[in-house]
Every structure is written in structure tokens, then in C-alpha cells.
Amino acid sequence: MERALSRDQGRRAEGARDKVAQAVPVDTTSSDLEDPDVDFLAVPGTQGHEAALLIRRAGGTTLVLNDLVGNIRHEHGFGGWLLSLMGFAGEEAHIPAPVKLMLVKDKDALRTQLLRWAEIDSLRSIVVSHGSPIEDNPRQVLRDLANSLR
């Protein structure tokens, strides 16, 4: 299952449009990157507040996520303590508790999407905005993230 969503599904990430428009002009919330090997999609279960990129290349597939998954580890000092206390840092990749609270509106829909991504045989890495890339068994990490939503 190389395609997580059909090319016409989930191509709009309108949920953040109003807040973003307060800071900068917004020309569009949809994307056609004109590359059949790159999909932009709104992440199901987040009411359009999170988007993802799925990039397929000869060497494998990369999933790019924004706030949904954190992989901040080994932070030290007061900042590290605070990140851990607030649920943003930990020993493994996770969906931070504040993110679950604020962004995840339909756990079942998100869980289903995470499991769909986990079915991609060619998945080699997950790039996250917060923390290190996930390159060690990313398919299992997605399964674990899905199970954390039960």
C-alpha cells in the first residue's frame, strides 16, 4: 500500500488558515506540488490543523510531520526538565499530551491513518519538526503511536 490516501483525498489543510492569516497572507490551503511522488495531505483526525508530506524516492519513502509527533530526547538542564514535564520530551517518539488535547479531535481517524502509513513497505524515515528524525524502524514507531491513541 504505497499511497496513504488517494491523490484527491485530504489535499487541504484549512484548519489553521485563520490563525496563520493573522500573521501572514494566505494564498491557498491546498497543494498540488506537480510531483507524482510527493503527496501533501491534511492529517485525518486533526480537523485540518495538521498536514503531512509523503515523499517517495528510489531509496525509500519519507513521511514529514509537523507538531503531531515529537522525538525530543536527552534534553538537559531546566529546558529539558520543562519539556519533559510538559510532555514534549521523552525516551521515545510520541504524540505529546498537549498535542493530543489541542490537535487530535478524532483519535480513531488518526489511529487509522498512522496504521496506513505503517503499511508502507518502503518507509525509511519520519521527519518531525520537534526532535530527531525517526529512522530506526519507523513502521513500528507508527504502530506504537497508533496504539497510544487507544
SS3 string, 38-98, reads EEEEECCCCCCCCEEEEEEECCEEEEEECCCCEEECCCCHHHHHHHHHCCCECCCCECCHH
Specify the fold of 17-147: Metallo-beta-lactamase; Chain A (3.60.15)
CA distance 48 to 12: 7
Residue 2: predicted pLDDT: 42
Output the pLDDT for position 145. 97
**What is the C-alpha separation between 53 and 100, in angstroms, rounded?**
20
Domain ranges of the chain: 17-147
What are the pLDDT digits (tens) for 6-19?
A: 444 454 556 666 77
pTM above 0.75, yes or no: yes
Nearest-5° angle of CA 30, CA 65, CA 52?
A: 25
Calpha distance 89→91 (Å, rounded): 7
Cell triple for 69: 509527533
pLDDT in tens, the chain (150 residues): 344 444 444 545 566 667 778 888 877 666 677 899 999 999 999 999 999 999 999 999 999 999 999 998 877 788 778 878 777 878 899 999 999 999 999 999 999 999 999 999 999 999 999 999 999 999 999 999 999 999
Give the model confidence (pLDDT) of 108-125 as tens digits: 999 999 999 999 999 999
